[in-house]
């Protein structure tokens, strides 16, 4: 495990079957839901204001992030994605037609970008409304020394950066909750060999311990997860507060994630949208 490729997948309103908790009776119904103009505008807002800034500011630029969407994603969003990729060589756009099996669709998006000459692939999933810290890749590369023994023994291992911030957006604004969350879907790496049949999408994050051994680290804030009206589930999962909450949350979000908390708060109030009508939203 000398040379590792860091390879991520971000799904942006991908139209396909399965893979999500919000279900639809037909592909046409799902298309209408995903491509609703107001919904897409909100998704782009979170993508542009939360997900992108820290990827653009990574202190270690040696990574690949595949942004997966459908070939019929409405304009201007398809052109905007291509424009982002044109200015950031680490981002690759994968246009995948609707497939019934979501894992097959995701693997079709990532497989062409796997470096077969690497010793290991450090896969990660990244939702279009979440963020990692600006030193996420650099920290992951530094921490290879911690996961290498398990990888050498088992051929796979996970690394869970469990300390982060949940931003809960409702009509009253954005509440910033400093939390430890085990194996949430962001800032979670799965290391496998390049010829492995599985990628990150094949390992459900909430069941990671059933697939492989792993390392959990909580020494610094590494992720931001946003829960808002358009979440697929919005469930927080098992979590607990930091022992020492930050005194300047806005400053922390700005420094580590390039996120403007006052701007997000103002936008949430202006949108006046409640939490999603999901059984466990925000809990």
Helix, strand, coil tally for the chain in percent (to 5): 35, 25, 40
Q: What is the pLDDT of residues 134-160, one digit of tens each?
A: 999 999 999 999 999 999 999 999 999
- Asked if 101 contacts 18 with a C-beta cutoff of 8 angstroms, the reply is yes
Which pLDDT belongs to residue 229? 86
Q: Which residues of the chain have pLDDT under 50?
A: none
For the chain, what is the mean pLDDT?
93
Which pLDDT belongs to residue 279? 73
Question: Which helix (H) or strand (E) element contains residue 84?
Answer: helix 77-87
- Reduced to 3 states, what is the DSSP secondary structure of residue 173? strand
Distance CA 34, CA 279 (A): 20
Domains parsed from the chain with CATH numbers: 4-160+179-216 (3.90.550)
User: First-to-last CA distance in the chain?
Assistant: 38
Which pLDDT belongs to residue 17? 67
pTM for the whole thing?
Answer: 0.94
Q: What's the length of the chain? A: 283
Which pLDDT belongs to residue 281? 67
């Amino acid at each position: 495990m000398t040379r590792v490729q860091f390879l991520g997948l971000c799904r942006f309103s991908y139209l396909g079957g399965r893979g999500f908790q919000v279900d639809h009776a037909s592909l046409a119904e799902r298309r209408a839901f995903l491509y609703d103009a107001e919904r897409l505008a909100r998704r782009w807002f979170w993508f542009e204001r939360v997900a992108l800034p820290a990827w653009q500011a990574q202190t270690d630029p040696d990574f690949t992030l595949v942004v997966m969407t459908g070939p019929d994603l409405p304009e201007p969003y398809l052109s905007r994605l291509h424009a982002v990729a044109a200015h950031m060589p680490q981002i690759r756009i994968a246009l995948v037609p609707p497939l019934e099996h979501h894992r097959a669709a995701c693997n079709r998006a990532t497989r062409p970008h796997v470096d077969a000459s690497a010793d290991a692939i450090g896969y990660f999933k990244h939702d279009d409304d979440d963020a990692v810290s600006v030193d996420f890749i650099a920290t992951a590369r530094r921490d290879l020394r911690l996961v290498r023994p398990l990888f050498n023994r088992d051929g796979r291992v996970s690394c869970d950066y469990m300390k982060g911030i949940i931003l809960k957006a409702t009509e009253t604004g954005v509440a910033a909750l400093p939390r430890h969350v085990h194996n949430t879907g962001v800032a979670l790496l799965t290391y496998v060999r390049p010829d492995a049949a599985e990628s990150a999408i094949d390992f459900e994050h909430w069941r990671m311990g059933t697939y492989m051994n792993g390392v959990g680290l909580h020494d610094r804030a590494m992720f931001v997860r946003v829960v808002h009206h358009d979440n697929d589930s919005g469930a927080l999962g098992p979590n607990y507060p930091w022992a020492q909450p930050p005194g300047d949350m806005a400053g922390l979000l700005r420094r580590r994630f390039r996120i403007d908390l006052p701007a997000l708060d103002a936008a949430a109030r202006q949108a006046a949208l409640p939490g999603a009508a999901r059984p466990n939203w925000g809990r």
